[in-house]
Copies of this chain bind each other. A is one copy, B any other.
C-alpha cells in the first residue's frame, strides 16, 4: 500500500439513490474519510435487468470512481454485488467490498432457529447470491428468498406507512412468514425505508437485517488491515456524482442519507 493512499477517498457506487444508506453509515463509522459517491440515476433501476447489463454497468461505474483515485470501492447495490463482484475484483486492483457478505454474516449471528428469509430485487433473488453465501458459511440454514419488485417504486413514492404497501408486503412475504424464519435480510438498499411496514407484516419477533451498518464496519476493518485509514481530526470531503440531472436526486437523497446534500455533479458514464 502506497503511503499516500490513506489520503484518498473511499469510492461508493449504486444504481441510484439507495447506496446513500451505506454512505450514511460509513460517515458515522469513519467520520474522517473522504467519500466519492456515484449513482447511475440515468439507468436506474438495475434490479429488473440482466446479469450482463448489471455487470457491464458495474464495471463502468467502478471506472468512474477510479478516475477520482479512490483507495477502495464499495459496491452499495445488492444487484451489482450479486452479479458483478467477482468480475470487479478480477478486473480492478483496488480492494472491493460488496453488500452481500456483511448482511449474511449478521443474519447468521442473529438467527436462532436457522431459518433466514431474504427479500430483494428480481436480479438479486435470481442470482441466488444470498442463498449461496449463507449456505457456504452454514449449510444447515434454511433460506426462503422472495423477489419484491414493487418495493423500490413504493419506497420512491414515499408510501412508507400506506395501507397499500402493507397489503403488498403481506402478499410478497407470505412464503417467508410460512417458513417461520426468525431473521429477514433486507437485500436491497431501498427496503430499510419500509421497515415499519415490514415489521408489522412479519411481527416484532423477526429480526430485520439491514446490511448498511455492517458494510461500514467491513470497510473500516479492511482499511485498518491495509493501513489505509485517513488520519483523524479533519473535516472530510464528500462528492456526489450522478448520471442524470440532479433535481430529483437532491429531493429524494435526504431520505436515504439523513442530511441535506449540498452539491451534486452530473457526469457522463
Q: Does A42 make an interface contact (CB < 8 A)?
A: yes
Q: Could you jot down 6 A-B contacts, CB within 8 Å?
A: A42-B43, A42-B53, A49-B248, A50-B244, A164-B164, A167-B167
Q: Which of B48, B52, B167, B245 contacts A52 (CB 8 A)?
A: B245
Q: Is the CB of A150 within 8 A of B149?
A: no
Contacts of A156 in B (CB 8 A): 48, 149
Contacts of A50 in B (CB 8 A): 244-245, 247-248
| Residues 127-164 (chain A) with a chain B CB within 8 angstroms | 149-150, 152-154, 156-157, 163-164
- Nearest 4 A/B pairs, CB to CB: A50-B245, A153-B153, A53-B244, A43-B43
Contacts of A164 in B (CB 8 A): 164, 167-168, 171
Give 5 A-B pairs besides A41-B49, A164-B171 with Cβ atoms closer than 8 angstroms: A49-B244, A53-B245, A150-B150, A152-B153, A164-B167
How far does the alpha carbon of A48 sit from the alpha carbon of B50 in the complex, in Å? 20
> Assuming A42-B53, A247-B50, is B163 touching A154 (CB within 8 A)?
no
How far does the alpha carbon of A48 sit from the alpha carbon of B245 in the complex, in Å? 11
Report the minimal beta-carbon distance from A268 to chain B, rounded to whole angstroms: 9
Total interface residues in chain A, CB < 8 Å? 26
Residues of A within 8 A of B (CB): 41-44, 48-53, 149-150, 152-154, 156-157, 163-164, 167-168, 171, 244-245, 247-248
Q: Which of B43, B49, B150, B157 contacts A157 (CB 8 A)?
A: B150
How far does the alpha carbon of A52 sit from the alpha carbon of B41 in the complex, in Å? 12
> Assuming A50-B244, A50-B247, is B157 touching A163 (CB within 8 A)?
no
- Nearest to A171 among chain B residues (CB) is B164
Report the minimal beta-carbon distance from A264 to chain B, rounded to whole angstroms: 12
- Nearest to A166 among chain B residues (CB) is B164
How far does the alpha carbon of A150 sit from the alpha carbon of B244 in the complex, in Å? 21
Report the minimal beta-carbon distance from A130 to chain B, rounded to whole angstroms: 21
How far does the alpha carbon of A53 sit from the alpha carbon of B153 in the complex, in Å? 19
- Nearest to A151 among chain B residues (CB) is B153
How far does the alpha carbon of A152 sit from the alpha carbon of B156 in the complex, in Å? 14
Report the minimal beta-carbon distance from A158 to chain B, rounded to whole angstroms: 10
Contacts of A244 in B (CB 8 A): 49-50, 52-53
- Nearest to A52 among chain B residues (CB) is B245
Report the minimal beta-carbon distance from A149 to chain B, rounded to whole angstroms: 6
How far does the alpha carbon of A154 sit from the alpha carbon of B154 in the complex, in Å? 11
How far does the alpha carbon of A257 sit from the alpha carbon of B126 in the complex, in Å? 26
